[in-house]
Amino acid sequence: MKAFLRTALVVAGRAWNMKAFARAVLVAAVLGLAAAAGALVVDATAAPAPFVDPDAAEFTIMGHRFRIPKVYLSESHKVVERTPEYKGDSVLMKAALPDLVPITERDTRYDKGGNALREVVRFEILAAPGYAGPNKAFFRDEYLRKCVGRRDGYLVCPHPTSVLDIYEVLVRVEGKRRLAFDCTKEGARPSPHCRITLPLLDDIELYISFSRKHFDDADRLLARVYDLVCSFLVAGPARKLTVNHCD
């Protein structure tokens, strides 16, 4: 009887050792695959690859067609049906700064408000029949004489319509390039921001809004928004345009 028990224990031990060996082999294989995958990870400091989303929505505004990945759309436009084509007067989008990558549903930090919202740029393409550029009133001599100083190359001017002393207009004129940012002043609550409206295409304007903390990088930010929005434009039949900032 004792010999039988010894034999049974030996067989059981061998079986256990085989299972342990199999587990060890499996763990080693998994770790090896993980290491191999880690070797293929792209350097996080490298420039992000262009984002391509096949699940895009079609919009037609003032005869111009746009195909926009739904991850860039604001909540109010994410449920747009592809047919019939959207023929509204605006499309609102948003992206994360600084590289204008889309904000996916997993990025819940952007939905909680607070400091995270300072890392979001909102931009909108709007129907604007006959739009000829920024409000000329901001660049007239009688208005510019009311400006109270300069900051970072911009004239600091009083807001022409607001009754609250928390807004100001930052104006810059460089030849034909004219910019007028409507901004809340530093320290304003809940978060100081700047916004601007610019021409995009015939009868379409581009509205851009971002946290004031990014104002020092405004030129690059505007250029990136233009590049992104223009990448959504669908080429159609040859059409002579008077205004075309996507050319």
Distance from C-alpha of 194 to C-alpha of 81, rounded to nearest angstrom: 32
Tens-binned pLDDT, residue by residue, of the chain (247 aa): 444 434 443 333 444 344 443 444 333 443 443 444 443 343 444 444 444 445 888 888 988 999 999 889 887 665 554 444 555 688 999 999 989 998 865 565 555 555 566 788 999 999 988 876 777 888 999 999 999 999 888 999 998 877 677 889 999 988 888 999 999 887 766 678 999 999 999 999 999 999 998 999 999 999 999 999 999 999 876 678 899 999 8
Global confidence as pTM: 0.70
Burial 166-203 (b: 16+ CB within 10 A, else e): ebbbbbbeeeeebbbbbbbeeebeeebbbebbbbbbbb
Distance from C-alpha of 136 to C-alpha of 139, rounded to nearest angstrom: 5
Distance from C-alpha of 183 to C-alpha of 210, rounded to nearest angstrom: 10
